[in-house]
Structure 1
Amino acid sequence: MSERDDFVRRFGGVFEHSAWVAARAFDRAASAGLTAGNVHSALCNAFRAASPAERLAVLRAHPDLAGKLAVAGELTADSRAEQASAGLDRLSPEEHARFTRLNAAYTKKFGFPFIIAVKGLTKEDILAAFERRIDNSAEEEFETACAEVEKIARLRLSSMLPGEENA
């Protein structure tokens, strides 16, 4: 296996179901050194350099919060752990119904799922952000969702590369 293949295997899931981001970031990350900060910077630069359609595909690769995939147990390990950390795996039927309604309204308006870095947030924090962000313009929300994807990547890398500089 080449260094590039190993890098993509190791970091290809940092941007949800989007190994192409890691493939495009390899040269820059490898030359800068494999610290969480360097890898995060390289991945984010590759993500930002992508076309709007490619970035939209990354957004669409994210699961709904407390959605069908979570209920069916089909989230990636990272997404499952992240959602569980915010208590989204322990919602009451009423809370689940509220998330389902908000997910549907948000996706209908913006064309991608609501994305937020949930680490350190409660379900109440997430619902408040949902309610606040659903009134954003399409352009504002696309940029906000992209920034949240980058935060999620930083958090994932910090856990993958412990003891190294934070992104």
Structure 2
Amino acid sequence: MNYKKILDNFDVSAQGIWYPIGLSIILLIFVLFMPKKLTWKEIYITFGVVGWLATITDLTFGPNLDFFDLGTPQHEGIGDIISYGIIPALFAVIFLNYYKKEKKWRFVLIFIVLSLLAHWIMVQVGFMKEHFWKVGYDIPVFLFVYRVFLPWHLRFIRNA
């Protein structure tokens, strides 16, 4: 078995790969040990839906629009999978766990800032190379996700 080829296929030598791996581990540990206001079923569904939507969105728009590259350009690796499918899903679970309708704007703004910070650090460590897309362009996307989609998503799960 050629282990070097396997590691190359996972793109584990990409610059800054430690950041998405480390962030996902920290977020996962946080989710596992946070006081739960969500049920495990809600966590499971949210993780799956958000991870799937983020990955599908990237696969649909990423190659066609070429806004940015993660890791080694033109090579999907473990960092890409974590960055698209796991980190957004963990942020969504944490957001919904602490979300309170009466303080919605506070939570929305906190998670927009946290998400922008995560994006910015990904650029600073060299894992993300921006072409057209820049750190701030995410704000309307994050605003929609945190203000509209995730609260609707939780209501949908609870009313289904």
TM-score by length of structure 1 reads 0.31
Structure with higher RCO (Cα < 8 A, 6+ apart): 2
Q: Which has the higher helix share?
A: 2
